[in-house]
Amino acid sequence: VKGAILFFFLAIAVASSVAVAIGFDMGLQLTDLTPDNSYAREYFNAQEAYWEVSVAGSSPFVSLIIRDIDISTLENQVALGKMGKDWLSNEYMDASIDLISWHSWFTRWAVCHRNQSLGLGAAWPAAMAPVMAAYLPSFPPDMPGINGTLMQEFKDMLPEGDFAEVACTGGEEYGVECGQFYTGSNFADAVKKFLEFDTFSRFAGDLKFKGHKIDMFRVSGHHISMPKTSIQLQALNEAEEWYEGLLGPLKSKVVTSSQIYPIYDQYRIIVPETLTTFGMAIMAIIVIATFVLIHPLQVVIIALILVDIFLVLTASINMWGLELNSVSSICLIMAMGLVVDYSVHIMHNFAIQDSTRSRNERVVNCLAEIGPAVGQGALSTFIAIMPLALSRSNTFRVFFKMFFGIVIVGFSHGLVLAPVLLSLIGPSLPQKGQGAVEVRRAAAE
């Protein structure tokens, strides 16, 4: 029987090791934080079922934040335009969606005002016609010549500044990488004028001013749809490598940012952080067990049992159809503090048994004395987590599934595997006086 039990636990350990080595899914679906009957859950489930788009992977919005740079200069404005074009060429950026760039629209706006103030109606870029028509509705799209009064109004709208020109070699968008650029000391004031128009007020949140200077600003774009965790992690790595490799005047001035990046970053650190925390938990348990248990061999057995339990519980993530994320990782680490109880009680009671008796007799006495208490502890824990199985929130059901495994695996290792190991290699400890039962009886008298 002992051989069969050892073979069973060894087979489970090997199978769990293989499952962990093959790998498991990582991810944290935001819909799992909502109740089952939530409208948001129904909506996003339909999105994923019919369009294969997940909440965390549905063309996430991402921004480039630029700081500590004088954007009023020609060199920096041209560099900004080229950087935006280069950014969209990244594998995981969606080039079919235009950048949300205040600078692009401001440059067009400033050039249009300058040309109109000079009566050069024909010089309007085609892209600006519908935009200008939005706040000058009397103008038709072809923007015919205007009278002197309106020319003066255009001059008043745009603070006096310089215009520099960069020759276009073909294919570039007017006013972004090439063409005319508004420069000079009044640049920030001109941008403030630009933001006063309702059409462009949407860019107000993209700039931070400090006096008459622009202290920080951003341009934004979209990632491609990324339903898989592995792709999301690759997109995050690509974004970091891209901005760290920037050269020229924008070097070390740019970072990429997205509200979804902390979730992506979790996938990169969850495995090493879980293993590190587990290692620290094992070390803490070994240190404490060294003072509680009497023989070093018992400490080694406890450590091996905990490692096996961790492997089995980690493999159970796939069995339950779960993903490794912050919730399941927390359960794995908490498990160490719970399952150690079952095994340590058995080990300690075995150690204080009469060493003159055989190992089998000491194991029988040990189970008779402490076994019922350990079983009651496991049963009470199981009863306590039962309500979680009926929860309408998937997060709480994950806790139930993980703790169900913790109770079953911890109990079986503590009351089945540990006694078998003790009956085979349990240390015999020399005692000065009576056995454990006699010591307690003497103390009672």
Residue 244 has pLDDT above 70, yes or no: yes
Residue 375 has pLDDT above 50, yes or no: yes
Residue 442 has pLDDT above 60, yes or no: no
Residue 179 CB neighbours (<10 A):
20
Per the rule left: phi > 0, alpha: psi between -120 and 50, beta: everything else, 159 is beta
Place of tokens 């960069």: 166
Q: How far apart are the first and last CA of the chain?
A: 40
Residue 434 has pLDDT above 50, yes or no: no
Alpha helices in 293-325 (DSSP H): 296-319
The two tokens of residue 144 are 């015919």
Residue 214 has pLDDT above 50, yes or no: yes
The two tokens of residue 397 are 């059901």
Tell me the pLDDT band of 123, cut-offs 50, 70 and 90.
very low
Tell me the pLDDT band of 304, cut-offs 50, 70 and 90.
very high
Residue 293 has pLDDT above 70, yes or no: yes
109: closest CA among 174, 29, 177?
A: 174
374: closest CA among 409, 415, 334?
A: 415
Q: What is the pLDDT of residue 364?
A: 93
What is the mean pLDDT of the segment spanning 134-148? 39
pLDDT in tens, 336-372: 888 888 899 998 888 888 888 889 999 999 999 999 9
Residue 43 CB contacts under 8 Å (≥ 6 apart), including other chains: none
Q: What is the pLDDT of residue 444?
A: 43
Q: What is the pLDDT of residue 201?
A: 87
**Window from 2-16, 140-154, 222-236, 314-328 with minimum mean pLDDT:** 140-154
pLDDT in tens, 124-133: 444 444 444 4
Residue 75 has pLDDT above 60, yes or no: yes
Q: What is the pLDDT of residue 140?
A: 36
CA triple 386-387-389, angle to 5 deg: 75
**pTM for the whole thing?**
0.70
Tell me the pLDDT band of 78, cut-offs 50, 70 and 90.
confident
C-beta separation of 90 from 226 below 8 A: no
Measured in degrees and rounded to the nearest 5, phi and psi for residue 379 equal -65, -45
249: closest CA among 64, 65, 62, 66?
A: 66
Residue 436 has pLDDT above 50, yes or no: no
**Window from 120-129, 369-378, 397-406 with minimum mean pLDDT:** 120-129
Amino acid letter, residue 172: E
What is the mean pLDDT of the segment spanning 184-191? 88
